[in-house]
Amino acid sequence: MAVRKILRMGHPTLRQKARALTRQELASPDIKRLLLDMIDTLKDSGGIGLAAPQVDESIRLAIIDVPAGPSRYGDIPSLPLTIFANPTIEVVDATTAGYWEGCLSVPGLRGFVERPQHVRVTYQDLKGKTHTLELKGFLATVIQHEFDHLDGVLYVDRMSDIRKLVFEDEYLKHLTTQEAARDDMLV
């Protein structure tokens, strides 16, 4: 187990479409070791999600861990540590909402991004078993943000108004505490 370096915007791996994992790879010691490193890296960074391309592994693998209870994100539903291998997303309801997103690969910046707020995710676990999960609101946004990394997309690519790309310290300084608590997201 180790904390890995998180790639930053500009590194070519972050712009590649990641390849799917085979059933044999899912059960391999190498993937288990990578996942342990990703968990350590996520905890060390203070984020809530991490995709394998962010640690220079161009494979379709991501982890998300949204803690229960009040947090810097406000009062949101939790999602215990979940491993998503070869995930796909289907939009259930295209109604959008916006959040100020941050990213471990785009440190120091936040941008306002609108995304669909009701999605269905199909993914595999490490045994190759398929699971389906429906998510709404903040968690739907988190999932889309993380899975975008698997397709070489960063949140800045999803912004409709580049004037809403700000430095994190300016965002915190100029937004009210209430707005920051409601719209804050760092993944």
Sign for the CA dihedral angle at 160, 103, 134, 59 comes to positive
- Domain of 159 in residue numbering reads as 12-186
Residue 3 lies in a domain: no
Task: Give the model's confidence band at 180: pLDDT under 50 very low, under 70 low, under 90 confident, else very high.
Answer: very low
Does any domain span residue 1? no
Residue 5 lies in a domain: no
Query: What are 113's two structure tokens?
Result: 């991004």
Number of domains present in the structure of the chain: 1
pLDDT for residue 179? 56
Residue 2 lies in a domain: no
**CATH code (residue 128):** 3.90.45.10
Catalytic residue among 146, 168, 170, 179: 146
* Range 24-39 average pLDDT: 97
What is the total residue count of the chain?
187
Residues 82, 87, 91, 97: what is their CA dihedral angle, to the nearest 10 degrees? 50
Does residue 125 sit within a domain? yes
pLDDT in tens, 96-153: 999 999 999 999 999 999 999 999 999 999 999 999 999 999 999 999 999 999 999 9
146 in catalytic set: yes
Residue identified by tokens 């288990």 is: 32
Q: Quick one: pLDDT band at residue 178, thresholds 50, 70, 90?
A: very low
Q: Which of 20-29, 89-98, 162-171 has the lowest mean pLDDT?
A: 162-171
Please provide residue 65's backbone torsions phi and psi, each rounded to the nearest 5 degrees: -145, 100
Residue 4 lies in a domain: no
